[in-house]
Amino acid sequence: MTDPVLRVADLTLVRGGQTVLHRVCFSIQSGSHTAIVGPNGAGKSSLVQAILGILPRQSGQIELLGHPLGAKGQLDPAVRQAIAYLPQQFMVDRRIPMTVAELVGLGWDRLELAWPWRDARPRHRAIESALAQVEAIHLRRQGLSALSGGELKRVLLAYCLVRPRQLLILDEAPAGLDARGEADFYRCLYHLQQQHRWTILQISHDLSMVQRHCDHVLCLNRELLCAGTPDIALTPEALGRIYGDDFVRYHHTCRPRLPDSRIPQASNAQKSSNP
Ligand SMILES: Nc1ncnc2c1ncn2[C@@H]1O[C@H](COP(=O)(O)OP(=O)(O)OP(=O)(O)O)[C@@H](O)[C@H]1O
């Protein structure tokens, strides 16, 4: 078995004086698709922020692509560039006069100093290719303020894939999209995952999506309560431990369409109910 893409050992995190993660341990393998599930306030976003080196940890170790993450978030720049992050909300003022191509280009730029003119052509080609892959090439000269929510998510995916990445971390990335936008986003994401062999770690509240698309689940509520394939981690018993014993999972089912002959006729129904 190859080295894990991510290894978290004994991670404890304190925020605002309270322990939000207690001795969390797990690892994720290359090419896997892992979901982090758990109730509001369970520490899911805090966990992701600790993995990205944004939040300092109280204790424990984090290793990304075989490299240790320093106590203050230090990480080999080449490793950092192999990781892409898609947040729940894109916190940049959309009135900033920036085009889609300029935003995607930021994902290509190296962290160290470089000669801008030497890289201009490959940079341009990488931006065009990334936008084409998310079917957003027609938006390249558009300002960010003119994008719909769904278009912006696709552009952010292009930002993620403008450079080769190995690990993609998503924090409720399709939040705010309508049902169609969410389905399109996931279709695009899974297609790209197959193509680029990404390892995905995503926070989600959508247990049906997790059941359908993820091969590993981490159930978190301040500590790691259980982990395994969706069949193991999303049983009613396991969900009861995470969300409380009275939790009942809602399944949306479509009523089958009745053949026309069996649909009650409003006029007949009315007739028979009239004296
Ligand atoms: N900036 C902060 N300062 C102090 N405490 C915080 C801060 N942000 C979050 N917390 C606390 O950390 C705990 C975990 O929050 P976190 O956002 O990680 O949970 P979550 O599982 O991602 O929740 P949700 O599903 O609601 O997004 C919560 O108790 C929260 O109040």
Closest C-alpha to 185, from 218, 211, 215, 149: 149
Average pLDDT, rounded, for the chain: 85
Categorize the per-residue pLDDT at 52 as very low, low, confident or very high, splitting at 50, 70 and 90: very high
In this structure, which residue's CA is closest to atom 28 in ligand 1?
Answer: 41
Least confident of 62-66, 184-188, 249-253: 249-253
22 lines ligand 1 (CB under 6 A): no
| SS3 state at 105 | helix
Residues in the chain: 275
* Cβ(89) – ligand 1 distance below 6 Å: no
Q: Give the mutation target among 12, 19, 45, 243 for probing the ligand 1 site: most ligand atoms within 8 A of CB.
A: 45
C-alpha to C-alpha distances, 36 to 85, 91, 205, 217, nearest whole angstrom = 15, 22, 9, 6
Cα–chain-centroid distance for residue 91? 16
Question: Which two three-digit tokens encode residue 157?
Answer: 């995916």
Give the mean pLDDT of 221-229: 94
Q: Considering the entire predicted model, what is its pTM?
A: 0.84
| Sequential DSSP letters for 22-84 | EEEEEEE-TT-EEEEE--TTSSHHHHHHHHTTSS--SEEEEEETTEEPPTTS---HHHHHTEE
175-201 per-position pLDDT tens digit: 878 888 888 888 888 888 888 889 999
- Contact (Cβ atoms closer than 8 angstroms) between residue 216 and residue 210: no
Q: Is the CB of residue 267 below 6 angstroms from any atom belonging to ligand 1?
A: no
SS3 139: helix
What tokens appear for 256 in the block? Answer: 């089958």
Helix %, strand %, coil % for the chain, to 5? Answer: 35, 25, 40
Region 114-138: what's the mean pLDDT? 84
Within 10 Å of residue 204's Cβ, how many Cβ atoms?
A: 21
Query: 10 is written with which tokens?
Result: 């004994």
User: Angle between the 120-133 and 100-108 helix axes, to the nearest 10 degrees?
Assistant: 110
pLDDT-derived band of residue 217, with 50, 70 and 90 as boundaries? very high
Q: Which helix (H) or strand (E) holds 151?
A: helix 149-161
pLDDT for residue 182: 84
